[in-house]
Amino acid sequence: MSDQRKAVGLKYAPNEDNSPTVIAKGFGELAEEIIALAKENNVLIHEDPYLSDLLARMDLGQEIPESLYHVIAELIAFSYVLQGKFPDSWVPKI
Annotated domain spans of the chain? 6-82
pLDDT at 38: 95
pLDDT at 68: 96
pLDDT at 2: 55
Say which residues have a Cβ less than 8 Å from residue 36's Cβ, sequence separation at least 6: none
pLDDT band per the 50, 70, 90 thresholds, residue 53: very high
Q: Which CATH superfamily is domain 6-82 in?
A: secretion proteins EscU (3.40.1690.10)
How buried is 79 (Cβ within 10 angstroms: 0-12 exposed, 13-18 middle, 19+ buried)?
middle
* pTM confidence score: 0.81
- Listing DSSP states for 8-77 in one string gives EEEE--TTT-SS-EEEEEEETHHHHHHHHHHHHTT------HHHHHHHHTSPTTPBPPGGGHHHHHHHHH
Per-residue pLDDT tens digits for 18-34: 899 999 999 999 999 99
pLDDT exceeds 90 at position 80: no
Identify the bridge partners of residue 26 per DSSP, sorted by sequence position: 7
pLDDT band per the 50, 70, 90 thresholds, residue 41: very high
